[in-house]
Amino acid sequence: MKLNYFNFKSFEDEILLTNDLGEHIFLKNEEFHQLISKSVQQESDLEKKLLEKYMIYDETNLEFTNKNRYEMQYLKGHLNMSASLHIFVVTTACNMGCVYCQANNGTKCSNIFMDEETAEKAVDIALQSPTRCLSFEFQGGEPLLNFKIIKHIVEYTEEHNTNHEINYNVVTNLTLLDDEKIEFFKTYKFGVSTSIDGHEYLHNSNRPFKDGTPTFTKVIDSLDKLKNSGIYVGAIQTTTRESLKYPVEIVKTYYDLGFDSIFIRPLTPLGKATINWKDIGYTAEEYLEFYLKALEATISLNKEGRFFKEEHATILLKRISGFFVNYMELRSPCGAGIGQLAYYADGNIFTCDEGRMLYEMGNEAFKLGNVNSSTYSTLIGNSACKAICASTILESIPTCCDCVYQPYCGTCPVVSYAATGDIIEKSPRGYRCKIYAGMLDKLFLLLKENDTQIVHILQTWSN
């Protein structure tokens, strides 16, 4: 019997083990001691479980590696892909004054509009990506303030694209939607993503117009128009300190609006969120208390026979279940540069959405080039891109490499750099880490408790 590499942690009365193949198993203390002392009896139930989960093996090292290489290639599928997500920041202007806006801190780059020449050069670079399936995502500011450039980019792409399959998405606050835009989105099969932070009071508190007037009614009216037009709309909830009071109400709002899921996310300490942190921020522990209540409310809806899932948990459950999920923030290395690129309104190109957010705070650390002088190859070959890739390999980051949740997690070099001045994670038990560890603790606890109804619900989410 040979031991495979694994990480572990005490988990109540048992010990959780995971390995690089994403497999996990709970062992009693006695079973764990048998494992590490290599005293597991042959043909015992314990040996069968450990073999099934690839915690041990009987083959030679080469045979074991060859047997599992395709599984590892599948789980690390993003390493065989080039940048598939291309973000076009068509304007930095916005008609809303969200209290946590990560895309603008109000001090730099506040009113820039991408022009046609810049847009065309950005598309030319994006189309150089070797990956066949691309996603073009339009962001702002509020991108619909520069709708003419969105139209131009799509029409230019359709004319010049020869060998890519392209999906179009727009991230919008929905307040500027009209029939012309809806018809355009239908024609080119756009996906639409928006932000709804909860019930009317909470949403208006977090996401008012610039003059302070409410936005909720306008957003919901536009949401209904899109749904009636057959356009898929996804929504993300961002949690502020005020949100912490309303976990159940937030979930109920999403369900009542006709969504079949909710994506609950914490504040990212970038942009205006950093400036307003004393007023709107919280500790990781406070967020987790809120999140777990919201998760329980989501599970309760399913117990009543109403399918509704929490998307953040769903991504983690898919990873735990052995599915490849190309979620840029939870992969090793992260998706910055090698998985996504962000083309800014002024022509500068960044590793990712967060990288351009740091630029708006006055820091160009994550700039890779400019549409006037760069090619796809020079962007990927940029020393900053290489450094970011190397610094986000969890398997080589101290503490992360030994963490039981390493197969399911990821790190963000932009957030790390903004907090510490270093792209390498220096506080592995900091804000972001504590949040993801707490979420995974809860999910594994539910799997360990093995309540038939709850496990079935979680399986429907991940499948």
CA–CA distance, 324 with 68 (Å, rounded to integer): 15
Q: From 293, 282, 275, select the one nearest 240 (Cα to Cα).
A: 282
Q: From 205, 227, 231, select the one nearest 216 (Cα to Cα).
A: 205
Q: Is 379 exposed, middle or buried (0-12, 13-18, 19+ CB in 10 A)?
A: buried
96 and 146 share one domain: yes
329 and 427 share one domain: yes
CA–CA distance, 278 with 298 (Å, rounded to integer): 29
Our count of domains for the chain comes to 2
242's tokens: 């005020």
For 216, the domain range is: 82-463
50's tokens: 């450990």
**What CATH number does the domain containing 439 carry?**
3.20.20.70
Decide if 195 contacts 235 (C-beta within 8 A).
yes
Q: From 398, 402, 319, select the one nearest 6 (Cα to Cα).
A: 402
333 and 443 share one domain: yes
145 and 50 share one domain: no
Choosing from 31, 51, 75, the residue where a domain stops is 75
230 and 291 share one domain: yes
Q: Report pTM.
A: 0.94
64 and 87 share one domain: no
252 and 275 share one domain: yes
357 and 439 share one domain: yes
Q: From 161, 145, 163, select the one nearest 153 (Cα to Cα).
A: 161
Decide if 114 contacts 146 (C-beta within 8 A).
yes
233 and 122 share one domain: yes
Alpha helices in 87-131 (DSSP H): 116-126
CA–CA distance, 461 with 64 (Å, rounded to integer): 32
Rg (alpha carbons) of the chain, rounded to whole number = 23
Choosing from 40, 59, 75, the residue where a domain stops is 75
136 and 177 share one domain: yes
Q: From 222, 161, 221, 223, select the one nearest 188 (Cα to Cα).
A: 161
CB under 8 Å to 355, separation ≥6 — which residues? 336, 342, 365, 366, 367, 414
Q: Is 288 exposed, middle or buried (0-12, 13-18, 19+ CB in 10 A)?
A: buried
Sign of CA dihedral 41, 43, 45, 48: positive
CB under 8 Å to 313, separation ≥6 — which residues? 295, 298, 439, 443, 458, 461
129 and 7 share one domain: no
Q: What is the pLDDT along the chain (463 residues), one digit of tens a residue?
A: 999 999 999 998 999 999 999 999 999 999 999 999 999 999 999 999 999 999 999 999 999 999 999 999 999 989 888 999 999 999 999 999 999 997 765 555 568 999 999 999 999 999 999 999 999 999 999 999 999 999 999 999 999 999 999 999 999 999 999 999 999 999 999 999 999 999 999 999 999 999 999 999 999 999 999 999 999 999 999 999 999 999 999 999 999 999 999 999 999 999 899 999 999 999 999 999 999 999 999 999 999 999 999 999 999 999 999 998 999 999 999 999 999 999 999 999 999 999 999 999 899 999 999 999 999 999 999 999 999 999 999 999 988 999 999 999 999 999 999 888 899 877 667 899 999 999 999 999 999 999 999 999 999 999 8
Choosing from 46, 75, 104, the residue where a domain stops is 75
111 and 166 share one domain: yes
Q: Return the pLDDT at 425.
A: 77
Specify the amino acid at residue 449: E
- CA angle, corner 235, sides to 74 and 368, nearest 5? 60
